[in-house]
Amino acid sequence: MQRGTVTEVFLAFLSLGCTSFGGPVAHLGYFRTEFVERRSWLDDAAYADIVALCQFLPGPASSQVGMALGKLRAGYPGAIAAFIGFTLPSVLLILAFAYGATALTGPAAQGALHGLQMAALAVVAQALWAMAKSLTPDWPRRALALATALLALLFPSPITQVGLIAAAAAIGLARPAAHSPLMPPRRADLVWLGLFLVLLVALPVLALGGDPTVTVAEKFYRTGSLVFGGGHVVLPLLEAELVEPGLISRDLFFAGYGAAQAVPGPLFSFAAYAGALLSHPPNSLWGATLALVLIYLPSFLLVFATLDWWQSLRQNVRLRNGLTLANAAVVGLLLATLYDPVATSGIAGWPNLVWAAAALVLLFRRVPPPLVVLLSALLGAGLSFV
Question: Could you read off the pLDDT of 259-312 as tens digits, one per residue?
Answer: 776 788 898 999 999 999 998 899 889 999 999 999 999 999 999 999 988 767
**Among 62-71, 130-139, 348-357, the range of highest mean pLDDT:** 62-71
Per-residue model confidence (pLDDT) at position 228: 60
For the chain, the average pLDDT equals 86
Given a cut of 50, whether residue 103 has pLDDT beyond it is no
Ramachandran angles phi, psi of 249, nearest 5°: -70, 150
Per-residue model confidence (pLDDT) at position 255: 74
| pLDDT top residue among 264 and 12 | 12
Helix, strand, coil abundance in the chain, percent, nearest 5: 80, 0, 20
* Amino acid symbol at 149: A
Alpha-carbon distances of 102 from 52, 93, 95, 115, rounded to whole Å: 39, 11, 12, 20
Per-residue model confidence (pLDDT) at position 345: 67
- Say if residues 300 and 79 touch (Cβ distance below 8 Å): yes
CA dihedral 125, 128, 129, 130 (to 10 degrees): 120
Close Cβ partners of 70 (under 8 Å, ≥ 6 residues apart): 9, 13, 78, 79, 80, 81, 82, 83
Q: Is the pTM of this model over 0.75?
A: no
Calpha distance 19→116 (Å, rounded): 10
Given a cut of 60, whether residue 229 has pLDDT beyond it is no
Per-residue model confidence (pLDDT) at position 101: 43
Of the listed ranges 197-206, 242-251, 297-306, the least confidently predicted one is 242-251
